[in-house]
Amino acid sequence: MNSNPVQKRMELVKTALGKEPYDLILQNVRIVNVYSEEIIPGNIGIRNGRIVTLQAAPDAKAKAFQDGENRFAVPGLIDTHVHIDSTLLIPEGLTRLTVPQGTTALFADPMEIANAAGYRGLEALFASSEQLPCHVYLEVSSRVPTAPGLETTGGEIGLEDTRKLLAWDVTVSLGELDPSKVLGLREEYFAKVEAALKLGKIANGHAIGLTGADLDAYACGGLSDDHECVTFEEAKERIRRGLAVLIREGSTERNLETLVSGLIEEGLDHRNWMMCTDDKHPNEIVSEGHINFMVNKAIEMGLSPIKAIQMASLNAAQHFRVDHEIGSISPGRWADILLVKDLHYIQPEQVFFKGTLVVDKGQMAVPMPAANYPEWIFHTVRLTRGENPADFRLPHPGPKARVRVIKIFPDQIINEPEEAFLPVKDGSVQSDPGQNILKLAVAERYGKNGNIGIGFIRGFGIQRGAISSTVAHDHHNLIIAGADDESMATCARAAQAMQGGLVVALGDKVLAQLPLPIGGLMSDQPPADVIEILEKVNAAAASLGCVLPAPLMTLSFVSLPTVPQLGITDMGLVHVLSHKLIDTLL
C-alpha cells in the first residue's frame, strides 16, 4: 500500500472523481449528519481508511461491499478526557472494552504514569498506540508533580520535556492545569500553556471550585475548558466565559444528570458541551458502557439523539481542532463509523475504525496487538517504611486527640473538612469506626525518603481492617485507610510484594488483592481477569463494612492536593485552596 500521505490524499480525490475504485462501500445506511443535524439515506464510499463520499453511485466500483441493512451510521464517539492508567488497564486492555461500546477516540492525559515514571513512562505507554483499533491522542501532562514541594513523585515533566511532548503527532493539547498554577502566577506553567498555543493546540482546564473574578483570571491564563463542574451554575459560568464544559461521568464523579438537566431546562446552546469519563473502572465500563452510556442517558433525559451524539463526536473534535480527521461522517475524515439499530439507544452492532470492521455483533473482530513493556516499568515500588504497624503511629499525650478529618461524599471527589475527638491508645491516636472515621496514611513508594503522611477520613463505613492502593492521584504513592495499624501494615507489605496494586486486609491476612505491576498503576492481564479480581476486592471491602460502590476509586482521589478542600500526600495533610501543608492534630 502506498504510504506517501500526499499520494494517498490524491487517491481519495481520484476515487471521488470515479477514476479509481473504493476499498469499501457501506451500502444502505441512514447517516447521522452531525453538521446539518439530519439523517440522510446513503452509501458510504471508503478509500485508504477515509470517507470519500456519502452517496456512492449504484454502479460504483469497489473492492468490497457491505449491506448496512438500513441501520443508522453514527460517527465514532470521543472521550475528551481520560486517564488510561486510572482504569487499571493498559491501552491494549482498555480499548478491548471501549471500542465495542463505540468509542473510537481517547484523548488521554497519562499523568499517572508520568508521575510514577516520567517521560520514559509516557514513551512506554504510547509505544503501541498506533497499532490499536482506536485513536489515542495525547493531552500532555502539565503538572508532574501536581504539587511541587507538597508531595514526592517518581518522575517529573519539566518545560523542555513538555515542549518535546507537545510536538508529538498524536498530541492534541496541554493536559489539565489546576488553579494554583495559574492564580499563583507560576511562570513555568504559563510557559507550558504558551508552548501549546504556539503549536495551535489548546490547554485543558481543571477549574474546580472557581467562580467570579478567580474564574475570569483562570480563563485569562489561556485555558480552554473544564471537566470539574459539579453544579449547573458552575457549568453556566464557564460557558459564558468561553470555557467549554466536558461533562464527566466516571466511577466516583457522576455529573451528567445534573448538568444535562440544566442544559435541557434552560435550552442553552449545546455546541460547547462534550463528554468524558476522566476515571472509570473496567467493571463499570462493562456493566454500564462508556461514552455511549453518557449519550444514552442524555437521550433518556430528553436531549435529542443527534444533539447527544454531536456532544460526543463533532463538538469534541472541533474543540480539540481535529475535526478534519475525526468527529463526523464526512469526506476526507477517517472512516470511524458505528452501525446501530436504534438511535435512542447507542449500542453498536458493528464498529468500523479507519474503514476496517473491528467490532462485529458487539465483539472484537480483529486481534489486539501484544503488550510489550520494558522490564523496568514492572519494578517501581520501593517502600522503605510502612511495612510495620509502628510506622503508622501518630503520637499524642492523650487520652483524646482533636483532629482534622476529611469528609467524603458518594459519587463526588470533592470533600469537606471536619473536626473530631479520637481515642488515644499507648500514646498514639486511633481510628474510631464508631464515628465512621479511619486512619489515613500515604507512604512514599519510590525509595526516595520514606515519608508517611497521616490523617483521618470519614465516610467509608469500614468497621475493621484496611484497604490500600498505589493508584493515588496524582503522586501515586501508597495510600491506606484502615481501622487499625496492623491491617494497614499488611496492606503495605502486600503492595510491596506484588509491585503495586489494590489490597484489602484484616489483621495480618490479605483478604483480596489486585496486582498492578506496570508502574504500580496498571495490569497487563486480560480485562476479564482484572474485572473478576476487582470485584473480589470490592466484595472484600464490603465485608469490612464499606458502604461505597467503588471504594478503591474513592480512595485514589482522597490524596489529590488539587481538589477542595483537603488532600493528603506523603508529606501530610494539604489545604487545597491555600496550597499549604496543615497539621492533622489541632
State which residues form the domain around 429.
Answer: 376-582
* CA 382 vs CA 152, 306, 433, 490: distances in Å: 13, 50, 31, 16
Q: Is residue 8 part of a domain?
A: no
**C-alpha cell belonging to residue 536:** 473480589
Tell me what pLDDT residue 411 has.
67
- Domain stop point among 280, 301, 322: 301
Residue 491 DSSP class: H
Q: Are residues 297 and 380 in the same domain?
A: no
Q: Per the domain annotation, does 280 fall within a domain?
A: yes
Distance CA 97, CA 250 (A): 15
* 360 is a domain residue: no
Confirm if 274 and 319 have CB atoms less than 8 A apart. Answer: yes
| Greatest C-alpha distance within the chain | 89
Domain boundary among 240, 267, 301: 301
Query: Is residue 48 domain-resident?
Result: no
Compute the distance between CA of residue 365 and CA of residue 297 in angstroms, rounded to an integer: 27
Short-list 340, 348, 256, 349, CA closest to 298: 256
Neighbouring C-beta atoms of residue 281, cutoff 10 Å = 25
Cell digits of residue 450: 520514606
Structural domain contains residue 110? yes
In the 8-state DSSP scheme, what is residue 294? H
Determine if residue 430 is left, alpha or beta; phi over 0 gives left, psi from -120 to 50 gives alpha, anything else beta: beta
pLDDT of residue 423: 97
pLDDT in tens, 267-304: 999 999 999 999 999 999 999 999 999 999 999 999 99
Nearest to 329 by CA among 43, 98, 48, 138: 43
Does the predicted model carry a pTM greater than 0.75?
yes
Based on the domain organization, do 399 and 285 belong to the same domain?
A: no
Instruction: Tell me the CA distances in angstroms from 290 to 168, 276, 376, 482, 538, one per residue in order.
Output: 27, 9, 32, 32, 20
Q: Where a domain ends, among 301, 325, 353? A: 301
The helix/strand/coil state of 301 is helix
Q: Which residues of the chain have pLDDT under 50?
A: none
Residues 492 and 406 in one domain: yes
Strands 452-458 and 400-408: parallel
For residues 289 and 394, membership in a common domain is answered with no
Asked if residue 430 and residue 291 are part of one domain, the reply reads no
CATH of residue 217's domain is 3.20.20.140
If asked whether residues 388 and 297 sit together in one domain, one would say no
Residues 414 and 292 in one domain: no
DSSP β-bridge partners for residue 403: 420, 585
Query: For the chain, how big is the Rg over CA atoms in Å?
Result: 24
Residue 25 covered by a domain:
no
* Cα–Cα distance measured from residue 570 to residue 212, given in angstroms and rounded to the nearest whole number: 33
Statement to judge: residues 178 and 270 lie in one domain? yes
φ, ψ of residue 492 in degrees (nearest 5): -65, -45
Q: Same structural domain for residues 296 and 390? A: no
CA angle (136, 142, 147) in 5-degree steps = 135
How many CB atoms neighbour CB 367 within 10 A? 7
The pLDDT of residue 467: 98
14 within a domain of the structure (yes/no): no
One domain, residues 289 and 183: yes
User: Do the strands 225-226 and 244-248 form a parallel or antiparallel pair, or are they unpaired?
Assistant: parallel
pLDDT in tens, 144-166: 998 999 999 999 999 999 999 99
Q: What is the structure's pLDDT at 318?
A: 98
Q: What is the rounded distance in angstroms from the CA atom of residue 475 to the CA atom of residue 8?
A: 44
Cis peptide before 565 (omega within 30 of 0): yes
Q: Is residue 30 part of a domain?
A: no
Same domain for 385 and 295: no
Domain count, the chain: 2
Is 398 found in the same domain as 292? no
